[in-house]
Structure 1
Amino acid sequence: MTDPHDQARAYLRAHAQLRPVDATFMGLPGHDHQLPPAGPDAVGAERATLEALQADLAHMRAPQTAAERLDAQLLSAQLTTALAELDRAPRQHSPAWYTGEAAFGVISLLLPGHLDDPEVTRDALRVRLEAIPAFLAQARAHLQGRARPDDVAERARREARAAAHLLSTGLPRHPLWNDTLRLPAGRAARALLAYAEDLSGPDAPVACGEAHLDLLMRVTHALPFGPREALERATEAFARLTARLEAQARGLPGDMHWTEHLARLEARVPEGDLLGTYRELHGRALDAARPLLTPADDYGLDFAFLPEWAEGTGDLYFLFYRSPAPLRPGTGSRYWVTPPGPDPADRRAHNCAFVKLVHAVHHGSIGHHTHNARARQADSVLARVAGTDCASGIALLGAGTMVEGWACYAEDLLAEIPGFYTPAEELLLTQFERRNAASCIVDLKLHLGEWTLEQARAFYRDEAHFAPARIWAETTRNALFPASRLMYWLGTETIKALRAELALPARTFHDALLAHGHAPATVVADELRAQYRQGALHR
């Protein structure tokens, strides 16, 4: 009999072979020179690997500790999910999967954590660049004549062109650049541009269907209900939060609609040193949160302007904050800030309220920054790495209710510190919660087949008041990754309900919650309930 930790390690070895770009982001050694298998037998070979791992679960002894239970749950759910996806819509049949892997196979090696050994990294980068033309040729074989949503194909075109721009214009500005990269980078860029021009094919429906959506909710996210109940909850919450916004707006001076108050908030931009504002608000959030939890101030977060080599990557999943490689995190991580241009709209994107709530709290300080630091110390093998940001999303989708649920919850948590937010910023907090409920509604209605992409976009624009420039990318992402947007609001709701149920001191509750790392929020909740019953957590 093997224990759950051994089974989890076996899965990670297989995951690294099947998804080597994920392995680079996780810090798993030995795969930095590889792109994913994409030959004609790739889908069948992956299915055989996953089925063998699933069969091995029969030989796993019963979990005996919280960490073993987390590994067993994450592993079983991941195998079930991955096999279901291979049956429904293998990622090898999505044109955007290839562009994401090709682009981030390169970008993953350009990030600061890979610059400690430049010769080794440069060699891995050269090999990956050399592999891109063949990888994209294999993509064409998989995609030939295959139906796919038109908007997914358009996303792939945009990503391919952005990646080609990176290789031809950005990469030569990177410290790793030397003449050995010139030819393979040029060939890869040309292959990406050719791929962008060769993505014709029939349109396909977006919806994954109720049965698959139900599996993603009940198995992957370990939620105790399915899409119909979730839709009812999110719809009620959207109406309730709309009423709250209207009431909050009436309490603010000016007799304005809540959207006008938020527009005024957006106009308040930092004066002078922009990076200094980011650092100051991040530090303030860390200090303010100390009565509520133990923040990760022993692991650094450095704010810097986006480097020249990364300019023009806007159509890629290039995150300003990307979780450090959990298996080789170094002593700190980098937070990119896009330099504002001459257009006043560029400066408004860095308005003080947005920097505070999104950059300083949600991603920095006690949000993802602290959660990632705690996850790296978790006893569960998979909960250390499940929330790793990879080419198109986190490594294991099942961790999402905790990963994003916590970061959204953290925004609200600091409202418990008197004076941390202004009344107008608390209005923005409510709009963020309402936006997450809206994303949950779209995720569900789109994949239940009740809405088209155009109907989803109209809802985001007219009801949820999303920024117009964001809507196309948001809905295309909704289409590509079912059950990935519902995890924000449902994860936050799970954490809030558990805190109310246990009624523990804030610091005790939050530190215990984060200690379990990246696992489904409901599964972590069950472990905290068990600890409470056993007397390990005290009021």
Structure 2
Amino acid sequence: MTDTPRPTRTPTAIDAIADAYVQTSARLNPIAATAMGLPGYDHLMTDFSPAGHAAVAEAARAVLAELDGAEPVDDVDRVTLSAMRERIGLELELHAADEMLGMLNNIASPVQELRDVFDLMPTDTPEAWANIAARLEALPTAAAGVIDSLRLAASRGRVAARRQVDECVRQAEELAGSDSFFTGFVRGESVEKALAAADDAAALGSRLELGAAAARSAYGDIAAFLRDELAPLAPSEDAFGRERYQLWSRYFLGAAVDLEETYAWGLAELDRIIAEQEAVAAQIAGEGATIAQAIEVLDADPERRLGSTAELQAWMQRTADAAIDALDGVHFDIPGPLHTLECRIAPTSTGAIYYTGPSDDFSRPGRMWWSVPPGEDSSFTTWREKTTVYHEGVPGHHLQVAEAVYERATLNSWRRLACWVSGHGEGWALYAERLMAQLGFLDDPGDRLGMLDGQRMRAARVVFDIGVHLGLPCPDKWGGGTWDAAKALAFLQANVNMPEGFVRFEWMRYLGWGGQAPSYKIGQRLWEAARDEAQEGARARGEELDLKAFHARALSLGSVGLDTLREALT
């Protein structure tokens, strides 16, 4: 187990500004504080009202003004200045465009945040459950704030597409119903254990039951508002249009890219990956075999099948632990606290697979979550998912995110805990999948086909997302004419080898969260370009790139915009 001593660094005035801004952000957004693992905020709920949004924007303007008067003393400060100005400046652009006020989609909006935060909260003590009770009690006020903000955004012409509104109605109704997550949450085994240790178990149990009822009622209010008031105002058009899309693309990448060039690259990358898949399919099922025939062979292999969520969870954990043990000290130096990665089955059933980072003190470890859709909980195939474990675990998100949290001696709390750029993070995770193939961890043809299967989906997302939201011409082989939602669904069904429920969830996600899905593959492209530039620089000096040192340097920066990353590495 590697625990290499980190260099010490005296905090600077810029670090003090960044640290203070994290505390301000935690106060204004307790949900984010919980995600960061900052103590003292778990009993509070974020204010999603127009006043709450205004307070966040005002704090952003204030910290940028402070930074304008600050002088960097070293390279760490210079990266902090670049990253904060880029991130916070873009957040203000989004506020000014009412994008934050009117945020609504099927995966990453306040409708989901109000519930998802409970997955991250401690549940092992009576005090933890008292915090949960307080947050449940605060949920109706937070829901009312969400409604007020969506109403104000609508009065200014910012309403999500009807498809997204309808999906959020469905989600809210589910959370308001008798089988709500909240009902089971306050009656689970961990509650019983905590109540047994509580001084006044009856009072706490009553608070939790009443809190769950309040949460269900709050989601009922959200569902009614969305269904009766917002849906009639919602446009049928899914496309964001160029102006909105360019803003969100910059936000998710931390870089400005030529969208038409990137779209053309996405088409070419998709063709290249399909050709690589066909070559691997021949290894699996014989010369001339199709990709579909190779998949049939793999799916029929009992050695590659898991028959329950319990088996899936155990396999995920074994695979993640083995990767950490194999990579540490050879390709990466992995600090001791990062050797703990918990693999869990999520309490939701959306189909998403995701990672949540450790708390600031690592008392809550990094976790990989698998949200299994209804009816799909009895058959999983390892050949598809080994690359997913590397993506979410090590050397993917867990190494990347938890490494930044660990860099306490160098990075301020904003750099370690608060900054997340999708193109940097998701791009690294895809880069990590390819890296594992290059290092020999996916030499099994089935596992390699699984990696390519995921890469194909990510390339298809570049084409889908830019094509639909910019209204670009659709190639004849994918339907011809101009891209729209119907062509995009057929395109996904042809290029994503996953159950229909997953494909439709992803289709809905891309339509409602423009610019996010392509950030994975575009981010990978920019990460690989940064590595290639470093390799060229090394060769110009008559050397070969020390890949282990390059990765250590890059990850030690934390998550920053991809333009900032490139500047820092060069």
Smaller-chain TM-score bracket: 0.7 to 0.9
Give the whole-Å Cα distance in 2 for the aligned partners of 1:274 and 1:461.
25
Matched, 1:35 2:45: yes
Matched, 1:90 2:99: yes
Instruction: State how 1:67-146 maps to structure 2 within 5 Å.
Output: 67-95=76-104, 97-109=109-121, 114-115=122-123, 118-144=125-151, 146=154
Please give the secondary structure, in 1, of the residue aligned with 2:285: coil
CA contact (8 A) 2:320 2:393 kept: yes
Give the whole-Å Cα distance in 1 for the aligned partners of 2:252 and 2:73.
22
Matched, 1:411 2:433: yes
Q: Which residue number corresponds to residue 150 of structure 1?
A: 162
Work out which of the residue numbers 337, 346, 356 in structure 2 matches 1:322: 356
CA contact (8 A) 1:301 1:335 kept: no
CA distance 1:38–1:386, shift in 2 (3 Å): closer
Following TM superposition, by how much is the alpha carbon of 1:217 offset from its aligned partner in structure 2, in angstroms?
4.1
Opposite residue 127 of structure 1, the aligned amino acid is A
CA contact (8 A) 1:92 1:98 kept: no
Work out which of the residue numbers 343, 353, 358 in structure 1 matches 2:388: 358
Following TM superposition, by how much is the alpha carbon of 1:356 offset from its aligned partner in structure 2, in angstroms?
1.7
CA distance 1:17–1:364, shift in 2 (3 Å): same
Following TM superposition, by how much is the alpha carbon of 1:505 offset from its aligned partner in structure 2, in angstroms?
2.3
Please give the secondary structure, in 1, of the residue aligned with 2:226: coil
CA distance 1:209–1:385, shift in 2 (3 Å): farther
Matched, 1:173 2:180: no
Q: Which residue number corresponds to residue 461 of structure 2?
A: 439
Please give the secondary structure, in 1, of the residue aligned with 2:340: strand
Equivalenced residue count is 502
Opposite residue 214 of structure 2, the aligned amino acid is R
Matched, 1:186 2:210: no
Please give the secondary structure, in 2, of the residue aligned with 1:92: coil
Please give the secondary structure, in 2, of the residue aligned with 1:366: coil
CA distance 1:139–1:283, shift in 2 (3 Å): closer
Please give the secondary structure, in 2, of the residue aligned with 1:198: helix
Following TM superposition, by how much is the alpha carbon of 1:45 offset from its aligned partner in structure 2, in angstroms?
3.6
Q: Which residue number corresponds to residue 332 of structure 2?
A: 293
Q: Which residue number corresponds to residue 404 of structure 2?
A: 375
Q: Which residue number corresponds to residue 273 of structure 2?
A: 241
Q: Which residue number corresponds to residue 230 of structure 1?
A: 262
Following TM superposition, by how much is the alpha carbon of 1:21 offset from its aligned partner in structure 2, in angstroms?
0.3
Give the whole-Å Cα distance in 1 for the aligned partners of 2:36 and 2:295.
38
TM-score with structure 2 setting the length: 0.79
CA distance 1:497–1:304, shift in 2 (3 Å): closer
Opposite residue 323 of structure 2, the aligned amino acid is A
State the Cα deviation string for residues 305-343 of structure 1 (Å, max 9, x = none).
Answer: 64xxx64x21496x5642222x132274444567999x7
Following TM superposition, by how much is the alpha carbon of 1:267 offset from its aligned partner in structure 2, in angstroms?
3.9
Please give the secondary structure, in 2, of the residue aligned with 1:376: helix
Opposite residue 101 of structure 1, the aligned amino acid is E
Matched, 1:264 2:297: yes
> What is the root-mean-square deviation of aligned Cα atoms in Å?
3.0
Opposite residue 56 of structure 1, the aligned amino acid is E
CA contact (8 A) 2:248 2:516 kept: no
Please give the secondary structure, in 2, of the residue aligned with 1:30: coil
Give the whole-Å Cα distance in 1 for the aligned partners of 2:36 and 2:15.
17
Opposite residue 170 of structure 2, the aligned amino acid is R
Q: Which residue number corresponds to residue 234 of structure 2?
A: 203
Following TM superposition, by how much is the alpha carbon of 1:174 offset from its aligned partner in structure 2, in angstroms?
4.8
CA contact (8 A) 1:34 1:127 kept: yes
CA distance 1:156–1:18, shift in 2 (3 Å): farther
Opposite residue 84 of structure 1, the aligned amino acid is E
TM-score with structure 1 setting the length: 0.83
Give the whole-Å Cα distance in 2 for the aligned partners of 1:182 and 1:90.
35
Give the whole-Å Cα distance in 2 for the aligned partners of 1:19 and 1:479.
27
CA contact (8 A) 1:217 1:226 kept: no
Following TM superposition, by how much is the alpha carbon of 1:162 offset from its aligned partner in structure 2, in angstroms?
4.2
Please give the secondary structure, in 2, of the residue aligned with 1:85: helix
CA distance 1:509–1:98, shift in 2 (3 Å): closer
Following TM superposition, by how much is the alpha carbon of 1:189 offset from its aligned partner in structure 2, in angstroms?
1.0
Unaligned runs of 5+ in 1: 388-395, 530-539
Please give the secondary structure, in 1, of the residue aligned with 2:225: coil
CA contact (8 A) 2:465 2:518 kept: yes
CA contact (8 A) 2:161 2:512 kept: no
Following TM superposition, by how much is the alpha carbon of 1:488 offset from its aligned partner in structure 2, in angstroms?
0.9
Following TM superposition, by how much is the alpha carbon of 1:224 offset from its aligned partner in structure 2, in angstroms?
5.2
Please give the secondary structure, in 2, of the residue aligned with 1:445: helix
Q: Which residue number corresponds to residue 537 of structure 1?
A: none
Unaligned runs of 5+ in 2: 1-11, 193-204, 473-482, 536-544
Following TM superposition, by how much is the alpha carbon of 1:374 offset from its aligned partner in structure 2, in angstroms?
1.3
State the Cα deviation string for residues 74-122 of structure 1 (Å, max 9, x = none).
Answer: 211222221221222333323553322321343332xxxx246x23322
Instruction: State how 1:16-27 maps to structure 2 within 5 Å.
Output: 16-27=26-37
Please give the secondary structure, in 2, of the residue aligned with 1:29: coil
Give the whole-Å Cα distance in 2 for the aligned partners of 1:160 and 1:218.
30
CA distance 1:53–1:339, shift in 2 (3 Å): closer
Following TM superposition, by how much is the alpha carbon of 1:167 offset from its aligned partner in structure 2, in angstroms?
1.0
Q: Which residue number corresponds to residue 547 of structure 2?
A: 506
* Identity between Structure 1 and Structure 2 (%): 23
CA distance 1:183–1:215, shift in 2 (3 Å): closer
Moved more, 268-277 or 462-471: 268-277
CA distance 1:180–1:374, shift in 2 (3 Å): same
